[in-house]
Structure 1
């Protein structure tokens, strides 16, 4: 009797054995990075822990108290033990009544920290865990609040969710623009951060009115925009989702603030900050793991940044690096506890439109992403690199982009602007862009149900070639290592494998904020946010505050 073969998967009829091999290689490439992340901490991880414990506010100079307190702890005992034991030991010794007072006294030089031992260490750990658990419970409550709100007012009627960007620099100007965009049909509002915020090693406080090509991500700005969109959601009878950016040097802190203020999506790519902001690779991977654990707990959908690779590398030659990164992002996300429905893996419409069969190539790449990740929403990015300023051609390109989204059943579709590369879009530009989306989606309907490329045709063959090249690259990464014994993925990043950017592991911004954990290290957030088997199941529930 002939051996039974597994049915091929998806519309491209991908070989399931080949798909399994790709995922297995991604895990082998990613596992040493996870081990590295588990063995290190960063200043941002420790500050995120303090934020979960309720420490807010800033001093007269605008420096957040989480920064002040951590800097004082670090100066006395180092970073490698974490902030929890020395800070709560000081509280139990009566140095201050709470974290806010402790931060103020420490900044004034009236408190000295130590690493407690024995019974003192156990007491500090218990107190720290109880306090951080209140923040985790608050995130749990906000997640339930979202679910009830959606059930009450209704959800977007269909996918893809239409994702539209606003950002004037002034949160009080952003709010009416965001509400107008929602009324015009946007399902997701993304508030772009002020230029350069990713390189700030602190999170600004309060409502801000002077951003640069974007608006600062702060807890108060999150709160204001969420409240405004809740009001508009009730008006429209559908929930309008809010997006911001958990990336850069404060990735886990901003993730914590997003969970506390009920944001719905966050830009959270595992390598974007390394490649495009020259942030140290180890710093980034340590920070992104805790940030994703927080997002998993908060029910936040992450958006990854593979589209950015194609702004610096060729959209055809580098297509396999996008697939490789998607597979790595999936592994890192699931290891941190995120479920498939939370994986807004990125890809983009960035092939030169003058290339023959460019539309077929774009369709092949989009279909490959859809078939590899059938249960992920995916985030489909519009053309930017080849927008020339010709608004008529740009409008047509955006229409073709929208058509690929309809043909492949994308989950999150970012609205392309015909004035891309000309001006910051006006509200009228956004209205025209939304009309383009609505026309294509309405006219195409469920065209993706009817569209099946020929099994041996151009589209299916191109997808198989890209997947094969991604596997070849993953094999090269897995079987390669440098003389220092660093994880092979770090060596690949240093060699410029992704986006043509060479980023060595011993350089980059934020490296001085990384420390290998000592044997005495303790962080209650790591325990409370841990997940079993990457299945979105908490390893431990937050205990009641004592």
Structure 2
């Protein structure tokens, strides 16, 4: 199944996306955030909480006298002057000691003192990537679309049980959805957690517990089971850090999701997503972008050009952070009103269009949720059509739809039925998309051409206005956000000319060519 699409339009869309992202990249280069600095100290080995439960990375970064120089510069100076480890320095801050003025220590001495801790952090990330690659080579996953399910009890130990059961039922990817509103917390909770509303807290210990369980399950089943979590919100770089340290496989990591759907300041989000994606590139983690969310706040047919435009923008941001196409899991969703005549053909058009424009990206296809009514029989049927679209258009990551989507958080039995539905469709129709041809200038092809043309028009407008202005004007998902407002704005700061982030330096490379 192939569409005839205007390759000149595709090339123009990529040029426009690059022009949109370039000014933001200049802004990113001159700024940092509190969450980036906390990620730096975490990578240097600072973890744990004080007696009041406040994370040590927060305590340390909050104590910086000159944050514009970067946490690494101050931490390196403290290590050089005291001979203590970064963790010991954090403990000293909690005990009431002041951090030294980094300007009083030669920069060369600060860099040299911190170098062993920087090297150790990078070595752990690299070792985890090598271990993951070795397991994937030894325990292959099977042919995509890879079946992805969510667990979300609020208790990591119950999630572990549900994740193992889902893997045994055929899931190839398990996502632990985060507790409601965790993205708005300006700290990362510590340790294993057993309470959470609508999900389970993303913590490093929870990541470790789940990865260990899925490792054991992978060995037993003879196929590797991936683990996904969320690197979004006010602590995006820190979540990316903990995921890299605990060998996760995928992270939801969108360039605009937090801005549009969580009212997080756009400047903070752009800076945070860049550093988090640099970490993901080094660690081999696949990002999942969030274009599917546009379709929950606006009409899926009308918003299709905006989804495609956002995919181009997300790709451009990802390339500038060093992510290759094989790690850019662009998002889309099967959210067209099921009562729309020929809606299935529109779904095919949009899914196949993305597949052809981004041939090497591990596309993530999201299930129908907006129009689920509680009629589990109709819902199961709609999910089957979603499954058929996914296998016909060779999507890579397939989030299984749940027949009880509109009723409650899915039970284990609901997940089993969903996986059975997906396995059946993807077995019986495995080669269907390769056996059919699209009618030239028919409904499917015309729809794809319209979506592409609309995306180019939208990118033209955004390039002319600038991305920040376009977001202020409500260009994406019909949501307007202010440039200097939203959560976390006070955590963005301009870098001093002497600013130093050794991890950003190590992770930086030439932008990936489209």
Offset at 1:18?
Answer: 1.4
Name the residue aligned to 1:101: 88
Name the residue aligned to 1:542: none
1:201-245: CA deviation from partner (whole Å, max 9, x where unpaired)? 100111100111100000100001000000000010000000000
1:43-100: CA deviation from partner (whole Å, max 9, x where unpaired)? 0000101111111111121111110000001xx22x2111111121122111x61122
> Tell me, what secondary structure is at the counterpart of 1:456?
coil
Offset at 1:130?
Answer: 3.6
Q: 1:396-435, aligned counterparts within 5 Å? A: 396-435=381-420
Distance 1:126 1:535 in 2: 34
Query: Do structure 1's residue 197 and structure 2's residue 182 form an aligned pair?
Result: yes
Q: 1:371-382, aligned counterparts within 5 Å? A: 371-382=356-367
Contact 2:79 2:113 in 1 (8 A): no
1:5-59: CA deviation from partner (whole Å, max 9, x where unpaired)? xxxxx81122221111110000000111111111100000001011111111111
Contact 2:3 2:353 in 1 (8 A): yes
Contact 1:296 1:338 in 2 (8 A): yes
Q: 1:182-221, aligned counterparts within 5 Å? A: 182-221=167-206
Contact 2:392 2:430 in 1 (8 A): no
Name the residue aligned to 1:362: 347
Offset at 1:394?
Answer: 0.4
Long gaps (5+) in structure 2: none
Query: Do structure 1's residue 135 and structure 2's residue 121 form an aligned pair?
Result: yes
Distance 2:6 2:459 in 1: 17
Distance 2:87 2:392 in 1: 54
Distance 1:448 1:320 in 2: 23
Long gaps (5+) in structure 1: 1-9, 481-487, 537-546
- What is the total number of aligned residue pairs between the two structures? 514
Name the residue aligned to 1:523: 501
Distance 2:79 2:129 in 1: 31
Q: C-alpha root-mean-square deviation of aligned residues, in Å?
A: 1.3
Q: 1:506-545, aligned counterparts within 5 Å? A: 506-534=484-512
Distance 1:14 1:361 in 2: 15
Distance 1:60 1:186 in 2: 40
Moved more, 350-359 or 302-311: 350-359
Name the residue aligned to 1:3: none
Contact 2:79 2:114 in 1 (8 A): no
Name the residue aligned to 1:475: 460
Q: 1:2-401, aligned counterparts within 5 Å? A: 11-73=2-64, 76-77=65-66, 79-94=67-82, 97-116=84-103, 120-152=106-138, 154-401=139-386
Offset at 1:535?
Answer: 6.3
> Tell me, what secondary structure is at the counterpart of 1:531?
coil
Contact 2:6 2:449 in 1 (8 A): no
> Tell me, what secondary structure is at the counterpart of 2:360?
coil
Distance 2:495 2:156 in 1: 39
Distance 1:43 1:324 in 2: 30
TM-score normalised by L of structure 2? 0.98
Contact 1:128 1:524 in 2 (8 A): no
1:385-439: CA deviation from partner (whole Å, max 9, x where unpaired)? 0001111110010000001001100000000001011111111111111111011
Distance 1:15 1:318 in 2: 20
